[in-house]
A and B are shown apart, each in its own frame.
Chain A
Amino acid sequence: MPLNNYSLEERLVEPFRSIRWLAVTPLLKLFTFICLVLFLVFWWFERSMVFECWGGTLSRLTHLLELPWHVGIAQWPDPAHAYLAVPTLEIWIVPPSTWVWWSFVLGTGAVWMITGRLKQSFLPVRTAVRFLLMPLWITIVWFVVFPLKFNHTIEEWSRIYFLVSYGSVAILSIIWTFGVLWFPIPLFTKLLMSSLWIIYTLFGVPVLFFISCMLLNQTSLLLLPTFALGIVPLVQLGWFVAFYSIALSAGSKTR
């Protein structure tokens, strides 16, 4: 006669297991929630401190490499309004010449063609590369149709870069609280991964900016939209998801 035999124990395991049953103390939840709120308040009101910290890393890097670059300040939304003052690198980059222009067209085309030769199992790589080439195509086509003066600068790039990083950290810290701190993961893992992510936020963000500037300096500002729409958000999210997944895999238990 018995058909189903779900009982209390089964509710605790499968299929109704939820984090609620997996015992994370309410006190810890409350504590971390307060921490999150405090962090977000800090992140907003003490933004100049964060930008200074990022700027400091940038200047140390330029000194270390003895590059003829200077760390400056870029105001947002425009030079007259100091609503947000993000660090920037004062480099003058030559606007793209015809030669640069054509080499970009050829280079983009060549990469596009080469990715077509990739094996079927590398399809995501091909798609990813081509996806990131799309902004480049648009840039090339735009300046073919409207051959205006190229008036974009590293300062603009620094505004975009640092403000995006700034916003994304705020968004991700919310997910980090609910997705890692509230989950039943060993405390050591939680602390380690949280501090690693914070280190990457404080030092990785300016390093990545520095690298992007080096690339733009060596090539051309034509790459700016590709960086802004593709590579930078991807890398920053990648760091986060990497730490997040390591933390989760440490806490996950076979059902």
Chain B
Amino acid sequence: MSVVVFFLGLVMISLPFIPMLMEIVKKSDLSPLQISNQTLKDPRSVPDYVFWYLAHLLKVNGLIELKEKVSVSVSTMVGDSLLAIPAGIMTKLDVAAHTKVARVISAGKIILPDYSNHIQKILSLDSIQTGVENNLNEVHAHHLLTIGKKNKVIWWATAENVILQAEAHLPGKVQARKEIVFENGAQFHLLQGALIKSRINFESGSAENQELIKTPSTHIPHKLTISKNHTILDQVVFDGTLIVKGNLTLGKGSRVLGDLKVYGKLMVEEGAQIKGNVFSFGNIRFRGNNLVGGTLVTNRQLRMGPCTQVGFEDRKITVSAKSITIDGPFKVYGLLRAWKSGTITSSAL
């Protein structure tokens, strides 16, 4: 009897291990973990050849033959239909208001009128202009993309040049091969272009300063670590890399010719310039008329005053922060990323 109970007890103890034993025998999970970064090129960027391939497709077998040769109006098309307008047949596509279209591909220019056009994917081999208050999931134009007032780009927009007219809401990604120009305030998440700027032009710093900051250093700058809060006085030039384990204030017109890393808050007074990269674990505030030559990264908030320039034409950089606020005219060469929220205030532009 006791032997039976003993073995019953053993069975009870081993019951929870049955799934494990089954897994050992069955071997259902053998493949290695799929790792990221596997592809050579990003699969989601739309290179030129895609546009030309599409144009070619449209020429050879137009997916929908349209009788009219001039402009076409599309109204209330709902569903997963593909509207393709072959090149040569038409040069311009006007979409009526309150239209819902799954995908639109056009060889010509696309003009979207005002108010609530829900378009899943819109692709033009020429250019696209949108009206007021449209919701766009994906927009790709080969040349110019003009996004009208209060538009929302939910996922992705690409073009050669992008003009954002007013109060655009960009929770997705906007990429331009050349320029992204803001004509007014906007909310953004990720902007990428050779140059991201406001419509108003400005020169950041004197020509002499620009030259000094632009020239690559020939020597390895010396590194200085300061373990408490620090202030660099006005008009002081610091030739080297500076690491501050506290807050730092850069005085008016002062210059740092190396990199800068700050553990606390960084306050950059008017006209101050930094040649290298800037890292901060705290908030960064640029008072205005500042110039940063390298990458600008913070874990927290970044606030850029008017006439601030980051990067150069020949040096594309990244501006990355948890939240970014830009007051007034600005120029960023490269990539502007706000992990949580990015705002370009409209008042100063």
Contacts and interface: CB of A to CB of B under 8 A. Distances in A.
A242 B171 contact: no
Nearest to A212: B9
B6 A5 contact: no
Contacts of B16: 196, 200, 238-239, 242-243, 246
Interface size band for A? 20 to 34
A1 B19 contact: no
A17 to B, nearest CB: 11
B108 to A, nearest CB: 26
Interface string A91-132: 000000000000000000000000000000000000000000
Interface residues of B, number: 28
Interface string B167-182: 0000111010100000
Q: Is the interface of B mostly helix, strand, loop or mixed?
A: mixed
B236 to A, nearest CB: 35
B9 A208 contact: yes
B36 A235 contact: no
A31 to B, nearest CB: 26
Nearest to A211: B9
A155 B181 CA distance: 83
B189 interface: yes
Contacts of A208: 9, 13
A200 B288 CA distance: 67
A8 interface: yes
B309 to A, nearest CB: 19
Interface of B: 1-2, 5-6, 9-10, 12-13, 16-17, 19-20, 34, 36, 42, 44-45, 171-173, 175, 177, 189-190, 192, 194, 316, 339
Interface of A: 1-2, 5, 7-8, 11, 14-15, 61, 64-67, 196, 200, 204, 207-208, 210-211, 214, 235, 238-239, 242-243, 245-246, 249, 255
Task: Return the 9 tightest CB-CB contacts between A and B, nearest first.
Answer: A242-B16, A211-B9, A5-B42, A2-B45, A239-B16, A7-B173, A207-B9, A246-B19, A242-B17
Given A196-B16, A238-B16, 16 more contacts: A1-B194, A2-B175, A2-B192, A7-B189, A15-B36, A65-B1, A67-B2, A200-B16, A204-B12, A208-B9, A211-B9, A214-B2, A235-B13, A239-B13, A242-B16, A245-B20
